[in-house]
Structures are given as C-alpha cells and as structure tokens.
Copies of this chain bind each other. A is one copy, B any other.
Amino acid sequence: MKVRIKDEFWDKRIEVVQKQMLPFQWRVLNDQEEGVEKSGVIHNFKIAAKEAEGTFHGMVFQDTDLYKWLEAVAYSLEIKEDKQLESWAQEAIRLIAKAQREDGYVNTYFQIFQPDLEWTDLTDNHELYTFGHLIEAGVAYHEATGDEMILTVVRKAADLLVSKFGYGKTQGLPGHPEIELALLRLYHLTEEENYLELAKYFILERGKKPNYFIEEPKKRIEKKIPSWLDVMWNEGFVRPVHEGTEDVSYYVASKQLVDQMVAEGHAVRACYLYTALADLASLRNDSELKDAAERLFDNTTTKQMYITGGIGQTWKNEGFTHDYHLPNEDNYCETCAGIALIFWAEKMLLMETNSKYTDVIERTLYNNTLGSMNLEGESFYYRNELERAGKDVKNAGRPGWFGCACCPPNLARLILSLNHYIAHYGKNGNILYLDQFIGATIQGETNEGTYQLVQEANMPWNGNIKVTLQQFPEKMRLGLRLPEWSASFQLKVNEETMIEGVDFTINRGYIIFNHSLSEGAVIDYVLDLQPRLAYANTLVKADAGKVAITRGPIVYCLEEEDNGNHLWQLAFREGTIFTEQKTSELQGIVRLNSEALRDESLTHGLYSYQAPKKKQQSISAIPFYARYNRSVGEMQVWHRVADGDGNNK
C-alpha cells in the first residue's frame, strides 16, 4: 500500500518537520546550532570511528538521537526526494558503519568512554535500547531508499545480539524495551527466524522469577561494577529506582506480560514493550498473547489515559500509577509515551480491526502529540500537563532542544510516517479500511486486484469527507471508521443515501459496505463536528464535577490570555452552547465561544460563611494543541460545571 498525503492541515506540519526540524536537528547533532546545548552526537561517532579525538559527551543513550533522526529522514525521503537530506543521511550511515566494530557492536558511550562496562548493566544502561533504535532506523532507511550499507550494519548488529542472548545463551533483558519491536521490524523485512526468536525471548522471559531486574543489580553491586547512573548521580540526576528495591514495576517487569492485569511502570518503556507484544501475538497468532495485549490496551486507554490521549500520570516514574488516577497537574503525559501509544494502537489494529484503536490514535495524535510542538516546530514539551496554574506558570512554555532530546526526534519520525496510519487491510485482505480522515491518495494491490482512491478531507475543522474510487476491484470492500466523537453521520455514494442494514453494516466501529463499489464512485461521508462537553468516568477524582470542551477529535483548553487568570473560578452551566468562530490565528483554528460564571474574588480573608458572588463572563476556548503559542499564563482543560443537580437545564 502506498499512501501519499495531501491535506491542508497536515501538509504544513509535515513541511515544518522536513524543512525546519530535520535540518535543525542535523545541525544540533553536529553541534553547529548556536544557543543549543551541546549534543556531541556526531562527534561521539567520529571518535568511535577514529576520525576525531576527544571524550564522550551526553547520555548513555546519546546515539539514539542520530538513529531517530535517520529514521525520520527515511520517512521524509519516502514522501519526497531531498538531495541534501539524503547526503546527510549517507554521511551518518558511513560514520555508523565505520564506528561499528567487527563483531557488530556499536555504541559510542561504551566504545569510547566505558569499554569495561559493556553489557554489565542491561537494567539501566540502555544498551539494547540503543541497538533497537539503530535497527529501526536501518529498516526504515532501507525500506525507503533501498540502501544496502545500513542494512548490513543493522544485520551485523542484530546478528551479534542473536549470537549472544537468548535461550541457551547469555541471559539478559533490556531495562528499557525497544529492541523487541525493532527485531520484529527486522524480521518483517528479512524473514530471518533468529530475529523473531530473540524478540520472543526478550518479550516472554520478562517478569519471570528470579526477576532479572532484581538479580542483575544485586550481582553488579556485589562485584562493585558501577552503573552509568553512578556517573549521572554525581551530576544531580535522581535515580529512577533506588537500589535494593524489589519493586521492578518501573521496568514493566513485576510479572510476566501474560500475567500483567494493568499497565505499569515507565510509560514509554511499557508501550514499546506492549507494541512488540501485540506484533508477536499477531505473528504467532497466539491467543494468550493477544488477550494480554488487548487487556493491557484496554486498561491503558479506558482507565489510565487522559482525554488528550496522554499517558503517564506522574513524573515520579514518568509513567503509570493506578486506575482512574488522572491528576491534571503534576502529571507527565510524556510526548514519547503518547507516540509509543500510537505505535502500540497500530499493532493492535493490525491484529484486529476495531475503531477503539484508531480512535485512540486520532485522540493522541491531535492532542497530546501535536501539542507537544509549537506551531513553528522549534520548541517542544516533554511533559504535556492538562492544567497549569500557580507560581510555576512562568515556566509553562515549551523549552527548546534539551540535552535529553528523546522527544523531538520521536515526534519527527511520527509526523513523517503519518501516511502509515491512514488505512489498513482487514485480515484476509479484501477489505480496505480508512482509519484517519487525512487527505491522501491511496493505492495498492491485493489478491482482488489493484486499487487507487483519493480521500479528500479538511479535518479537524470540517467533517465533510469525500472519497473517490479511481480504481477499485469488484470483490474488494471498503470500511470507514465511525469515530466515537461523531454523534451522527451521513453517507452517500454518488449522491445516493446509504441505508444501514441494506447498504452497509457497522462492525467494531467501522462502517463496512455490503456491496461492491463501482470504479469512479464518489463517497460523501459527513461527520458531526458539533462542539460537545465531555465528562470523565465518575471514578476519576480529579475530574469530578467537571467538563472538557471538545469538537470532533480536538480537545479544547482555556488560556489566561483569552479568559483572564484564576481559571478555576469559572464554571459552565450544564447544557452550555458553544458558538464556532473560524479564525486565522494560530495558523488557523476554530475557536469555541460561550458564557461561563465566575466566582468573584473576595478582597480579603481566607475562609468565610458566604458563598462567592458570581458574574457572567464571555469565554473563548482554543485547541489544546495550540496552547502556549502566544504567552505564558494559566491553562486548563477540565472546567467546573455549575448547576450540578441538573435542575436548571
């Protein structure tokens, strides 16, 4: 399947990433960007390749910045030729290949800084994680360009792991998952069983007793082998897990995956691992693994996910806490975790078509993920809180490039691979499902023949979607996602209204045509984008008595700039009607305007027996993703609702 995006909303974002972010990141990787903290990435590789002298700079996983960049470049080249990008990528690949040891090992931190510590601390040293990102980048680059040099590097690296780890070999598991999904990607490309077997080992051994993440640190400490964290510690970093603890949920390893009832631990680690779990379940058609993947996905998205699609309720473990615990302040919602959730949802979808997966992708994409970047693509959130108020509001804006730069390149690779999320085949390949309403040309070939169609859309502002079937085999069927946010829909083919039960069936959140569609058919699919107030499950303490403003997939927020400060003083009447205001501000958004009641400030005194006086105020909400593009100040997603007993409707 080949999907080429042509979409007003996304084209400019893809262009920002291609034209601004990727060149900017290349300069950062080369320490050529003034005013940005030194990255040392390329220089580390040059030292390892013996093309430069000096000392290692950065984190133990510093190499992955280059790999994620290279992966993003691969997607970019898949979309559009770019000689400059390609030549940078070639230079990067050459350096990686030269830095790689004869045995396949490549990791500049250990090669040039702590060679004695190679493979001594899989728990915290991110070594397998770093191999994983190399493999992902290499597979993507080979798939996009056919480049053989990177594939050779990647296979050498993967073969090293295969020779070293697994059943009957060295026992070892990665503290930060990533290698599992990467090996499976390499297996999809190469069909080399060894890669599948090693991925299976990493996935299925995790959480077994004796627990690797309890035993390895113990042995390491007994032997007085330092961890890279001992280095970081001296620089003021906080250890994620204190030594000696037996709680390894941070590593998503409290139990075997098939026994995990709730998503746990560091959210990025969890979702990378669960992504691999879903892929493995599909590959092996293993119902126990499928059930585990679905159970964990349902737990994550129906008990531990923010309305913005963000996950990770606390900064303490950068991850999951417990069901229905969704504080709107001091939470984490890391950009990388949201992206990882999208990866995971896509693997779930390929296992079984269900709009619950594509709804989550859309929710996370338009809110947590998109909003992690400013409109110009120059500054980035790692954390995506739903509420900012109080003294720290002055720090609420997006920072620029960080030393620990995991999120921006992750964002780049997601946005440039959006075309992979627009459609998928059903299991036996005769249904083509349209998943995301992003304008695109989709073409491909199945057992039924070749097809080509054009999807035209103006989401997220307009709900009218038009699909033109330029070529479509008679035996092929079409499926259209019916998103959860649309209260109703209209469906016409060649201007004739389609009837449920006659023309189509709704199954697992998808409209599936019951009959053939002729070539040249034009489908008009109209979704309902009327603004709606959303409520959280009443088990969520943080959102009790509150509502969020939404329109289609977009979650809105109130900013101080539009609504004054002390946003918690505002309450909406139930049944509040919002008017839509299309504006060119903030690169073009639909504002939602209405009235709310504000508790007036008392001039003095802390407690009284007098209910606050209320006055009516106009309010204006903007999309959450567009927050903090004008000024810093308060921001709020969940708002109090007045008239809680519902008698005043």
Contact = CB atoms under 8 A, between A and B. Distances in A.
A600 interface: yes
A389 to B, nearest CB: 6
B537 A602 contact: yes
B322 A607 contact: no
A645 B645 contact: no
Nearest to A533: B609
A606 B536 contact: yes
A301 B605 CA distance: 9
Given A301-B606, A599-B544, A645-B648, A574 B611 contact: yes
Interface string A473-500: 0000000000000010000000000000
Contact of A541 (B389, B535, B536, B540): B389
A55 to B, nearest CB: 24
A325 interface: yes
Interface in A381-395: 389-391
A70 to B, nearest CB: 37
Interface string A61-92: 00000000000000000000000000000000
A94 interface: no
A614 B537 contact: no
A175 to B, nearest CB: 22
Interface in A592-630: 597, 599-602, 604-612, 614
Contacts of A533: 609, 611
Contact of A540 (B325, B532, B544, B606): B606
A322 B321 CA distance: 28
A306 to B, nearest CB: 9
Contacts of A541: 389-390, 566, 568
A574 B534 CA distance: 25
Nearest to A330: B330
A518 interface: no
B640 A325 contact: no
Given A322-B390, A391-B322, A648 B646 contact: no
Contacts of A307: 606-607
Given A303-B606, A534-B607, A648-B648, A321 B568 contact: no
A641 B644 contact: yes
Contacts of A534: 607-609
Interface string A561-577: 00000101101011000
Task: State the copy count for this chain.
Answer: 2
B305 A606 contact: yes
Contacts of A614: 644-646
A580 to B, nearest CB: 17
A325 B645 contact: no
A342 to B, nearest CB: 17
A504 to B, nearest CB: 24
Interface in A228-242: 236, 242
Sorting the interface of chain A by its residue count into under 10, 10 to 19, 20 to 34 or 35 or more gives 35 or more
Contacts of A537: 601-602, 605-608
A521 B181 CA distance: 89
A32 interface: no
Contacts of A571: 545, 644-645
Contacts of A538: 566, 569, 599-602, 612
Nearest to A236: B242
Contacts of A36: none
Contacts of A643: 642-645, 647-648
Given A540-B606, A568-B544, A645 B642 contact: yes
Contact of A611 (B242, B303, B646): B646
A302 interface: yes
A222 B599 CA distance: 54
A204 interface: no
Contacts of A647: 643, 648
A149 interface: no
B321 A535 contact: no
Interface string A352-392: 00000000000000000000000000000000000001110
A539 interface: yes
B532 A609 contact: yes
B535 A610 contact: yes
Nearest to A303: B606
Contacts of A536: 606-607
A604 B614 CA distance: 35
Contacts of A641: 611, 644
Given A389-B541, A568-B541, A599-B538, A605 B302 contact: yes
Contacts of A640: 544-545, 644
A574 B644 CA distance: 10
Interface in A307-331: 307, 321-322, 325
Contacts of A540: 606
Contacts of A648: 643, 645, 647-648
A535 B501 CA distance: 56
A229 B61 CA distance: 33
Contacts of A390: 322, 325, 541
A390 B548 CA distance: 23
A392 to B, nearest CB: 10
Contacts of A389: 541
23 contacts: A302-B604, A321-B391, A322-B391, A325-B390, A390-B541, A532-B609, A534-B608, A535-B608, A535-B609, A535-B610, A536-B606, A536-B607, A537-B605, A538-B569, A541-B566, A545-B545, A545-B640, A548-B607, A571-B645, A614-B644, A614-B646, A640-B644, A642-B645
Interface of A: 236, 242, 301-303, 305, 307, 321-322, 325, 389-391, 487, 532-541, 544-545, 548, 566, 568-569, 571, 573-574, 597, 599-602, 604-612, 614, 640-648
| A-B pairs, 6 with minimum CB distance | A642-B644, A544-B568, A538-B599, A541-B568, A642-B645, A545-B640
Given A537-B606, A538-B569, 6 more contacts: A236-B242, A303-B606, A541-B566, A544-B640, A573-B645, A597-B645
